[in-house]
Amino acid sequence: MIFASRSPAHKTPFGAVKAGQQVAFTLTPPRRLSWLDVFLCVSDEFASHDFEQKLHWDGLELDADRYSGVLDTSGMLGPIWYWFRYTTTSGASGIFHNPEHLPFGEGRQGSGEPAPFQLTVTDPGGTPIPDWYGKGITYHIFPDRFRRTKIPSPDGMVGVRRVHRDWGSCPEFRPDENGEVKNCDFFGGSIAGVLEKLSYIHSLGVRTIYFSPIFEAASNHRYDTACYTRIDPMFGTQEEFEELCASAAELGMKIMLDGVFNHTGFDSVYFNGRGTYELPGAYQSKDSPYYEWYNFISWPEEYSSWWGIYTLPDVNEGSESYRDFIYRSPSSVVRRWLKAGASAWRLDVADEMPDDFIEELREAARQEKDDAVIIGEVWEDASNKIAYSTRRRYLLGHELDGVMNYPFRNSLLAYILGGRAEGFRDDMERLRENYPRDAYFSLMNTLGTHDTPRILTVLGADSDSWELSKEERSICTLSPRQYDIAIKRLKMASAVLYAFPGSPCILYGDEVGLEGFEDPFNRRTYPWGSENKELLDWYLRLGKARNISQALQSGDIQYLHADNELLCFFRTFGNSRALLCVNRGNVRRTIRADWHGGRAPVDILSDHMCRRRNQVVEVTLEPMSARLLLTLPEKRGG
């Protein structure tokens, strides 16, 4: 191996660094390659500065030459791209780069245009990330569908609403006479319902409740905000919200809100496209205080909207008055709801908001609450994301504290559904290398969200089911055979979710076997009284493990096995240790692992004490199963 970016023999320190740190590089080409001179080539994209630096020959390492050098990152910021150029004793030349995303960050010799390695350099003066979020479990609630205490009346509310009397009925998916699906059917989930089930949420080990939008809106998803300063009356009141925050805090839980600040609703106080509100909005008058918030092409009928959806007019985030309203002023939206008891914001479609908007928003949130957390909706690797032809600066110290970890979901599901464990390990190690450590530990890891099909359906439905008509998918459920396989797969996937760095996030109902294809079938109501109790017990055990183990909350990760069907990794924090083992294959497997010091571990998923001989534990894994070994904390007191 000539160079591998994740090997301490070739590059230290591991992963992202703060500007000013020195990064040591070592290359070990075999003598038979006859390398003569080696240069580190660096491209600082944000500074538009490229340079080379010669590495020094340090002697021999067995049958390889050793070339070393140190890069001073002072003044750098962002993803820094690097590769190596070499010449040989015969006068030939070439490059050593990263064209294939090989395991351990290993490079390859090549020629032509380089495919560089990435070194993330952050601002040492950036705002520290609070560590509370990544340690705990997040519960994601789609407000209209979790719990209602009564059938509400829609009278006097914005929009034309229809309320389902049957809590378990299917959400409306058929278009109206104009071919539109308006999402105007409601089930009446409420704050009172969440309060009624708060102890249940707490029993899952949850430390953060994340709500999809709760503010007044014409649709059931409420991503078409009608009024940022008013909770949708079908969901509740500000007083009830403050009570919820206080009651959650008594149980050690915090509230995260969904900030939809890239667009508003057509039917809103600000745009007022249907004339619902008394004062004129941007659609009625150019004299409206909200007119400059929008991007009109030909007022009033032609305007920029999110993905061309006319009910979601885009907002001009550069508007000074809009920024004052959202986060600058003492009574701004971000500050108002933090004062009311919220502790965090998740930013919807973060890719579509300017970097300086996000930076100023986080600064305002921290001024209001010094441990407020800002999580962004980013579907790719956020360390090098390009959105609208712009390289983003999300994780460099001034914007997001973490992001929704869709790469984790995609890679884990690929493994569980038949892929190789090596692929999951390599994908996750690449993220760990690219992300600042505190951001990596503040990721929102999830198996499913309100934007994806239900995880049980993903893990159980055959390919033909996805080809059914929407009418057929509305009533399609897993067969007993499919359901059994899906449950086994979900147990394996959820065990990885809870054992991994970052916050494990449960979409309401996943823990009890809720099924559903795409929107709106993934947004069915929580099945109170019809829960899969066996699956729920599994999640309760995982929640207990996460909350008693410092290793699972904050520990470093080290892979023991990533071998086709078998995935095993340690988490270690001081004297606290955990070992997660998954066998997605059809043959029983046995692994052995060193377990020094302290007491023998317990398999928290079965309560069985594990045998340890000569400081080695032996773990037997049945087909399609997972085991999670912990050293239980010492009991305090007499």
Are 589 and 564 in contact by the 8 Å Cβ rule? The answer is: no
CA separation for the pair 70, 11 (Å, rounded): 10
HSE-CB of 633 using CA atoms within 13 angstroms: 14
* H-state helical runs in 76-161: 132-135
What distance in Å separates the CA atoms of residue 621 and residue 215, rounded to the nearest whole number?
A: 47
Q: Is 348 noted as a catalytic residue in this protein? A: yes
Q: Are the CB atoms for 95 and 107 separated by under 8 Å?
A: no
Choice among 348, 351, 381, 401 that is catalytic: 348
Distance CA 509, CA 527 (A): 7
Measure the CA dihedral 107/108/111/113, to 10°: -30
Q: Looking at residue 324, what DSSP letter applies?
A: I
Q: Give the integer Cα–Cα distance in Å for 626 and 584.
A: 8
First to last CA, the chain: 55
Q: How many CB atoms lie within 10 A of CB 472?
A: 11
* Marked catalytic residue, from 65, 314, 317, 377: 377
Distance of alpha carbon 35 from alpha carbon 94, whole angstroms = 10
Q: Please tell me the distance from the alpha carbon of residue 377 to that of residue 349, in angstroms, as a whole number.
A: 5
Calculate the alpha carbon distances from 500 to 122, 136, 432, 503 in Å: 24, 11, 12, 8
The H or E element that residue 347 is part of is strand 344-347
Within a 13 Å sphere around the CA of 112, how many CA atoms are in the beta-carbon half?
A: 5
* Cβ neighbours, 10 Å, residue 197: 16
166 is catalytic: no
Query: Which three-class secondary structure state does DSSP give residue 576?
Result: strand
Contact 445, 485 (CB under 8 A): no
Q: Which residues contact 68 (CB under 8 A, 6 or more apart)?
A: 24, 25, 26, 27, 55, 56, 58
Do residues 230 and 270 touch, judged by C-beta distance below 8 A? no
Bridge partner list, 573:
576
Cα–Cα nearest to 160, from 182, 128, 129, 130? 182
* Alpha helices (H) along 464-528: 470-473, 480-499
Residues 141, 316, 79: CA angle, nearest 5 degrees: 75
Residue written as token pair 């990152």: 73
For the residues of 396-443, what is the DSSP string, one character each? Answer: TTTS-SEEB-HHHHHHHHHHHTT--HHHHHHHHHHHHHHS-HHHHTT-
Which residues participate in catalysis according to the annotation? 348, 377
